[in-house]
Structure 1
């Protein structure tokens, strides 16, 4: 899993932080989303999906099977 957030569309509602504080934070400057762990461990996947569903601006995207990085 990979978490991607569109900072330009984020309005700082904070639902992601309430849903998964281990995965998300908010910028002190403008309140927009900060992804703390963009490749979370399996035990955090359900919380990441929930945060994406609850985002009122739909700025969090979950990529279930990301392509592996190439060296």
Structure 2
């Protein structure tokens, strides 16, 4: 699993719930969808990432981004 909460399966990118970040997970899939399993039980569904939708999402500026200060230096 990638640090952004996504996994790749059959050259497709899927999002899974953030609680799985940093863990090895078991994925199973069928004609209906892709699912996350824990201890043999289905616990979540992976959602196909649609890049065309993702390109138009309004994102808020991160509070951790540096803000330029007058004089050309960044406040760190």
Q: TM-score range by the shorter chain?
A: under 0.3
- Give the greater-gyration-radius structure (CA): 2
Which structure's residues are more often strand, by fraction? 2
TM-score (norm 2): 0.26
Which protein has greater RCO, CA pairs closer than 8 Å, 6+ apart? 1
Which structure's residues are more often helix, by fraction? 1
